[in-house]
Amino acid sequence: MAGFLIPTSPHSPKFDAICDAPLFGDDAVNVWGLDDCTENYKFHPNCLTDDELVRAMKKVDSLHAFDFLRRFLYLIKGIQAVITSATDNLVLLHIRLDIVTMFLKLLERDLVLPLKDVLELDPPTASPQEYLMEWVFDLMVSDHSLCSCYSILWLLLIRHGECTSNGWYKYLHGKVVQIHSGKRRIVKGALDSIRARMDLANPVGTVNKSRLWSLYWSTLVATTPLYEKSRVILGGSERPTASNSISRFSTVAWIIRNQFLGHTPPSEESIRHALESILALQAIWGADVEVVHSLWLYFSRKLDSMTDQRSKDSKSSVTELHPYTLFCDVTVQAFLSHSTDVLNIIRVALPSLTRQGVANYFMLIECLLRACLKSSQTHKVASGLIEFVASLFGGVEEAHLKWFCDWEVGRRCAALEALQNLLVLGLYGDSLIDREFEQSLIRLARLACRFREALVQQVKSNAAESGANVTNLTNLGYRDKLEQLALSFCQSLLPNLISRTEWLCRLLDAPLIEMLCSSVRGEWLSFLRDLLSSCCRCNASCPVAWKTRLWSDVLPYFLSRACTNGLWAKEAAEVAQLYLLLALSPSSNLSAWDLLSWFAFKTELSFLFRRLYLRRLFNDPDFLNSLLCTQITAVDVEQAWQFYTTWVTYRLIDDTDDHGSVPSLRAMGCELPDGVSTLMDVADVETSLLRLCQRFEAVETFRERMAFKSDTLRRLTPLAQLLNSTMERFLIASASWEVEITAVYRATASLFQVASSLLYSPDGVFTHLFNTFLLPPWRRLRESPVKKTTVQSCVAENLPAFLRGIAQLNFLKDPFIVRMLRELLRTVFFSVGAKTVASAIQTSDLTLYRAHLLKVLAQEFISHLDEPSSGWCENAQMWMNFFEEMDKGTMTLAQGLRDAPYLLWPVAALLANVGNAKSYTCLSDRCVSAFTTFSTRWTNAKSTTDDGVDSDTLRKDIVASLQTVYRLTTNPSTASVLNKYWKKFDLC
C-alpha cells in the first residue's frame, strides 16, 4: 500500500482506535471486530453501526428519503471543498472517511430508487452501487495522501467485488482490462465534480501503460493483505481455493506478459516496482512457477546486455537492487517448492549466451544454491541443482569437449568462474554437508578441474599459434583472466580449507596451481603463506597426496617465480621460512638441509630474497633451535659445515648492523660437531674466518694441510659459486644491479683479505671468483657506461682489501698472482684514478710488499708510455699527481725514501722524452723538482731517520732498490736521466 498511504496518520474522532493500532496482525485486537486469537469472527465497525442506521432510517419515511440522501451528498461535497482549500486537512480526511463510510452502508438498504434520483445517474439504468464503488475506487488509487484508516474503503471495495464478480482479483482485473483497452464505461452522476482523476492518459488521450501497470501492482500490493485477512469477515474460507489461487497467479502472469513483453520495453524503474510488488505478493500467496516462466521470457533475452548488476542513485548513498537481482529473489522462492519445474524453465538458455550472459545466468544459479544451503532440509534440492549444473556441460567426463568449438575463451572463462563460485558456496554454506550433497560437490569439483584443464591448454595452444600478433594480446588478456580466477578462487577457499583437508587435492589441482603461481600479481604469495601456515599447524591431518603436490608442484613454481622476483622478496622470504618449517616434520618429502641449500645458494634466486630470507632465518632463535637441535647430531659433520657456510653467506651479504643482536649458538644450547660452534660464537664474520685460517696454520703435516684445505674449499664452494654467478648475471642483465654487485664485491673482498691463503688454489673455484672480481671484463663493460662506472667504484672501494689478500699469497713467483696484481694495478690506475691506488698502497704494512707494488705499477706505467695513443702531457700529469699523493700520505721520512726509487723511475722516463719535456716546461719543472726533493731528504737522512731505522741499513735498502731500477731499465734515455740526477746528487 506504499503508493496509497502516508507514513503517519492523525487522530480521527471516529477512528482513533484504528489509527493507533495495526490494521491487522497479532496486535490488532478486535479493531474492526477482527480478532485472530478467537474462532468466532464478527465485524463491529467503530463508526455508525447497521442498527443505528436502521433506527435512523425508520424515522424517515419514503417521501423524505430523497432529501435525506441528497443532504448526504451535499455533506460529502462540502467536506471535499474544505479539504481542497485547507492546508492541514488530515483531520478533515478522517471526517470525510466517516461520512463516506456511513453513506456506503446505506447502499445495503433497499434505497435503490431514491439513490438513483439523488445521484442523477446517466444512464438512469446504471447501478447506483456500481457508480459509488467506481467513485471510491478512483479515490483510493489516485489520492496518495490517504492514511491507513482508509483501508476500510478497500474492504468495502473487496466485498463489492466478491459479490458482483465472484472474486476481488477478477473484479480488479476487469477494471484494468477496461482501462487498458480504452473501453472503460464511465457512468455520470452527481459526484463527478469531486471525483478523483487517475491521470492515466497521455496528452493525446492514449492510455499510459507504464502508469497503468504501476497502478495495478500498487493496488494488488495494497489490497492483497486486506483481502486475505478479511476472508473470514466476508464469510469465506481461511485457505484459498485452487481456482482462486490459479486466478490470482494468472492475473500476475497477464500483467508480466503485457508489461514486460509488449512492443514498448519497460523502464528499469517500472521493472523494479513490478518485481518488488511480486515479492510482496509472494510473501502472502506463496510462489508460482508460471510467474517465473513469464519473467524468464523477458530476462533470458536481456542476460547478454546486463553488465551492471547494481545501480546507484546519484542523489542518494543508498544502493538500489538491480532488477535482475530482484528477479533472482522471485525465482528463489519458486525454486524451493518447485525445483524441477524452475530448472526446466531455465535449462535451454545457456548454450547461446555471450560471456556476460553466461555470468548473469550463473548468478541466478548461485542465488538458488545459496537459498538451498540456508537449511539442511533443502540439501536434497541443492544436490539436484548441482547435478543440473553438471548436466549443462554434458557431465564430468565430457566437460572438456562440451561447446569447445562453439564457445570462445571468454565464455569458457565466465563458466569456469561460475563453477568455482558454486564450489565455494557449497563448501562454506551455513549448514553441515550431508553425504548426498558432498558427493554432488565432489562431482562438481571434478567438473571444474576438467573444465579448467581444457581451458588452460586452449589458452596455451592459442598463444603458441598466434605469436606476436594482435591475437596474442587477446590471449594474454585471457591468461590474465585465468590467473585472476585462480587467485580469487583460492582466496575464497582459504578460510576453512584446512578444516576440510580431504578437499585440498580435489580443489587445488595441477592446472589451478599452474595458473595461480603464474600470476603476475603478488597476492598469490599471501595465499600460499596462509596455506602453508595452516599446513604447519595441521600437518598431521593433511593428506599424503596433498603433501606430495605441495613439494612436487608448488615448490618449483615458488622457487622459479617468487624467489627470482625482487619485488616479491619480502613475501617470498616469509613463505620460504614456512616451507623450511614444514620440512622439519618427519613426513616431509624433502630434507630440510636440501631446502635450506636451495634458498641460500641457488644462483637463480633474487639477491634481495636471499638477503631477507637469511636475515629472517638467523633472527629467529626459536626456529634455529628447532632446526639445529633436531636435525644435527654429533655425527652430522657435513650438515654442521653447511650451516656454517650459510651463516658466513648471511654475514657477508647482509647490510644491517644488528649482527650482534643475533643470539649465539651456545646461548641457545646448540653445540655443533667438528668445532663449528666455536667459529660461530662471534658476531664478526672476518673474525670467524681468521679462526678458520688459524686452524689451517696449526695443521702440522703437508698432507693434513692439503686435506684441510680441500675440505674447506669443498664446503665453501656454494658461497663462491653464488658470488660468481651474481657477477655473471650482472654483466648480462639489461638493468643495473648496483646494490647487489656492491654487496657482492664487499663480500668477496672480505673473503680475500682474510682467508686468501686458505681459499686460493690454482684450479679452485675461489681462484675463478677472485679473477672475476679483481679482473672484470672491462671490454664488455665499455658497452654499458653505467655498469662500468659501478664496477670501477666497487673495485676502488675494495682495492685495499684486495691488496691485503694478495699480500698473503706468493705475489713474487706465482704466475697467476703476478698477472692478477699487474692487471689490477694497471686497470685501477688508468681507469679509476691514481688517488685510489695511492690510498690503497699506503695501507700496506709490509715494506717489501709496498716496494713491490710500486715497482709493478712503475713498470706498467713505463710500458704504457710506449703506446702510440699515449699523450705525454696527460701521462706526466697523472703520474706526478700520483707521486704527490704518495708523498703526502707517507708518514715517515724513511718510508718516503724507500718509495722514491720506484716513484722517480717513471719520472726519469718522462724526462727522457726531451722534445715533449721542453714543450711542457711546467711539467718538466715538477719532474726535476721531484729529484731535487729526494736528494734533499736523502742528505738530511744520512745521520738518522725519524722511525728509528739505522741510516746505513736504510741506505743499503735504497741502493738495492736503485740497482733494481737500473737493472730493469731497458731504455737508454731513461737510464741516462737516472745517471744524470743520481750521480749529480751523489746517489750512485
Asked if 839 and 889 count as a contact pair (C-beta separation under 8 A), the reply is yes
Ordered alpha helix ranges (H), 654-684: 665-668, 676-679
- pLDDT of res. 430: 58
Residues with Cβ within 8 Å of residue 351, at least 6 apart in sequence: 403, 406
Q: Distance between CA atoms of 596 and 583, rounded to whole angstroms?
A: 10
One-letter-per-residue 3-state SS of 331-360: HHHHHHHCHHHHHHHHHHHHHHCCHHHHHH
Concatenating the DSSP letter of every residue in 451-503 gives: HHHHHHHHHHHHHHHHTTSHHHHHHHHHHHHHHHHHHHHHHHHHHHHGGGGGG
Residues 295-338: pLDDT tens digits? Answer: 999 999 999 988 756 444 434 444 578 899 999 999 999 999 89
310 — phi, psi (to 5°)?
-135, 125
Q: What dihedral angle (degrees, nearest 10) is formed by the CA atoms of 66, 68, 73, 77?
A: 140
Q: Which of 876, 874, 879, 899 is nearest to 889 (CA)?
A: 899
- pLDDT of res. 106: 64
- pLDDT of res. 238: 47
Residues 558-598: pLDDT tens digits? Answer: 999 999 998 999 999 999 999 999 998 887 888 899 999 99
Percent of the chain with pLDDT over 70: 80
Q: Distance between CA atoms of 115 and 738, rounded to whole angstroms?
A: 105
According to DSSP, the residues that pair with 164 across neighbouring strands are none
Q: Which three cell numbers stand for residue 974?
A: 731513461
Question: Cα dist. 530→37, 506, 518, 693 in Å?
Answer: 57, 19, 18, 44
Q: Which three cell numbers stand for residue 289?
A: 512457477
Q: Distance between CA atoms of 933 and 939, rounded to whole angstroms?
A: 10
pLDDT confidence band for 779 (50 / 70 / 90): confident
Residues 956-984: pLDDT tens digits? Answer: 888 888 889 989 998 898 888 888 887 75
One-letter-per-residue 3-state SS of 53-79: HHHHHHCCCCCCHHHHHHHHHHHHHHH
189 — phi, psi (to 5°)?
-165, -175
Residues 18-67: pLDDT tens digits? Answer: 233 333 334 333 333 333 333 333 333 444 455 555 555 555 555 555 55
Q: Distance between CA atoms of 262 and 296, rounded to whole angstroms?
A: 14
Percent of the chain with pLDDT over 90: 32
According to DSSP, the residues that pair with 310 across neighbouring strands are 321
Asked if 230 and 168 count as a contact pair (C-beta separation under 8 A), the reply is no
Q: Distance between CA atoms of 183 and 338, rounded to whole angstroms?
A: 39
- pLDDT of res. 9: 35
User: Is a pLDDT exceeding 90 seen at residue 718?
Assistant: yes
According to DSSP, the residues that pair with 18 across neighbouring strands are none
- pLDDT of res. 398: 64
Task: Give the number of other Cβ atoms within 10 Å of residue 50's Cβ.
Answer: 12
Q: Is 967 exposed, middle or buried (0-12, 13-18, 19+ CB in 10 A)?
A: exposed
Of the given ranges (11-25, 332-346, 405-419, 819-833), which has the lowest mean pLDDT? 11-25
- pLDDT of res. 192: 75
Question: Cα dist. 506→405, 425, 429, 501, 503 in Å?
Answer: 27, 16, 18, 10, 5
Residues with Cβ within 8 Å of residue 502, at least 6 apart in sequence: 543
Q: Which three cell numbers stand for residue 242?
A: 485452487
Asked if 398 and 447 count as a contact pair (C-beta separation under 8 A), the reply is no
Q: Distance between CA atoms of 323 and 328, rounded to whole angstroms?
A: 9
Concatenating the DSSP letter of every residue in 548-614 gives: HHIIIIIHHHIIIIITT-GGGHHHHHHHHHHHHHHHTSTT-SS-HHHHHHHHHH-TTS-HHHHHHHH
- pLDDT of res. 88: 57
According to DSSP, the residues that pair with 201 across neighbouring strands are 207
Buried b (16+ CB within 10 A) or exposed e, 361-395: bbbbbebbbbbbbeebebbebbbbbbebbbebbee
Q: Which of 762, 852, 742 is nearest to 807 (CA)?
A: 852
Of the given ranges (203-207, 308-312, 515-519, 679-683), which has the lowest mean pLDDT? 308-312
Residue for grid cell 445517474: 121
- pLDDT of res. 65: 54
Q: Which three cell numbers stand for residue 316?
A: 542518494
- Mean pLDDT for 701-713 is 93
Question: Cα dist. 213→257, 296, 710 in Å?
Answer: 11, 19, 95
Residue that wins the pLDDT comparison between 100 and 288: 288
Question: In whole numbers, what is the pLDDT of the chain averaged over residues?
Answer: 80
H or E segment at 213? Answer: helix 209-229
According to DSSP, the residues that pair with 207 across neighbouring strands are 201
Helix, strand, coil percent content, the chain, rounded in steps of 5: 70, 0, 30
pLDDT confidence band for 453 (50 / 70 / 90): confident
Residue that wins the pLDDT comparison between 167 and 972: 972
Q: Which three cell numbers stand for residue 486?
A: 585462480
User: Is a pLDDT exceeding 60 seen at residue 665?
Assistant: yes
Q: Distance between CA atoms of 826 and 832, rounded to whole angstroms?
A: 10
- pLDDT of res. 986: 56
Question: Cα dist. 691→378, 575, 628, 758, 853 in Å?
Answer: 75, 35, 22, 11, 28
- Mean pLDDT for 341-359 is 91
Residues with Cβ within 8 Å of residue 222, at least 6 apart in sequence: 1, 2, 3, 4, 5, 154
Q: List the chain domain ranges.
A: 16-195, 858-988
Residues 71-118: pLDDT tens digits? Answer: 566 566 666 666 565 555 666 777 777 777 777 766 665 555 566 777
- Mean pLDDT for 138-150 is 76
Residue that wins the pLDDT comparison between 126 and 25: 126
Of the given ranges (25-29, 442-446, 760-764, 896-900), which has the lowest mean pLDDT? 25-29
Residue that wins the pLDDT comparison between 408 and 405: 408
